[in-house]
């Protein structure tokens, strides 16, 4: 389908992202919230490719973050479930309610867990055919998931979460979308103090 005519339609959201989060506002919740809203609403503005048409709209855009990085309110103790490396917790998003957590170890399941563990972007043209797909919204037909990988000062890197987009159309995302969303993911990761 070649949804966004590729990468060119993501240039505007990327420029807006740089303005919103390019100043290195370190709070990851704020950055992830603005990024998910910006991506979701920008794609809604391209009616030729996504828009609001019920047959092709991006119906969900958001982040899942590894649980040990999830912020814990001051004066409280982190529950054990948020203090391990085995779950991705739901972060800021736009769309219908979603799964609150996704197991990534020892029994990973779904596109988000696979993208996280394989450390590569996955474009799934038809989610109903994907082994282990987690159907948070039964109307979703295709999905694109980018891993969020942070580069540490010592030269090592770490996968800390994923950017997840769902679409109502089969084949809703293509290789050009992958390129643009990978760039946005890297921008978001670099703008946060994890």
Beta-bridged to residue 149, according to DSSP, are 159
Q: Where are the domains of the chain?
A: 6-70+82-190
Structure tokens at 122: 């996955």
Beta bridge partners of 93: 62
DSSP for 116-152, written as a single string: HHHTS-EEES-GGGSTT---SSTT--EEEEEEEEEEP
Instruction: Print pLDDT tens along the chain (194 aa).
Output: 444 444 455 555 555 655 555 555 578 888 899 999 999 988 888 766 676 666 778 999 999 999 988 767 676 666 655 556 789 999 999 999 999 999 998 889 999 999 999 999 999 999 999 998 888 888 999 999 999 999 999 999 999 999 999 999 999 999 989 999 999 999 999 888 88
Contacts of residues 130-136 at CB distance under 8 Å and 24 or more positions apart, as own/partner, are 132/108, 134/99, 134/102, 134/109, 134/110, 136/60, 136/96, 136/97, 136/98, 136/99, 136/166
Q: Classify domain 6-70+82-190 by CATH architecture.
A: 2-Layer Sandwich (3.30)
Number of H helices and E strands in the chain, helices first, is 4, 6
User: Considering only CA atoms, which of 65, 158, 166, 88 is closest in space to residue 119?
Assistant: 158
């Amino acid at each position: 389908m070649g949804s966004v005519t590729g990468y060119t339609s993501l240039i505007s959201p990327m420029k807006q992202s740089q303005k919103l989060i390019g100043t290195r506002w370190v709070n990851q919740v704020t950055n992830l919230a603005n990024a998910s809203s910006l991506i979701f609403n920008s794609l809604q503005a391209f009616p030729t490719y996504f828009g609001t048409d019920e047959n092709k709209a991006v119906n969900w855009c958001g982040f899942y973050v590894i649980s040990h990085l999830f912020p814990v309110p001051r004066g409280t103790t982190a529950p054990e479930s948020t203090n391990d490396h085995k779950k991705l917790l739901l972060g800021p998003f736009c769309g219908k309610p979603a799964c609150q957590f996704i197991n990534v170890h020892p029994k990973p399941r779904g596109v988000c867990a696979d993208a996280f563990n394989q450390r590569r972007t996955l474009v799934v043209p038809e989610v109903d055919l994907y082994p282990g797909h987690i159907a948070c919204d039964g109307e979703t037909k295709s999905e694109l998931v980018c891993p969020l990988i942070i580069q540490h000062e010592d030269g090592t890197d770490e996968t800390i979460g994923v950017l997840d987009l769902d679409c109502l159309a089969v084949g809703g995302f293509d290789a050009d979308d992958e390129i643009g969303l990978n760039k946005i993911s890297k921008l978001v990761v670099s703008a946060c103090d994890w």
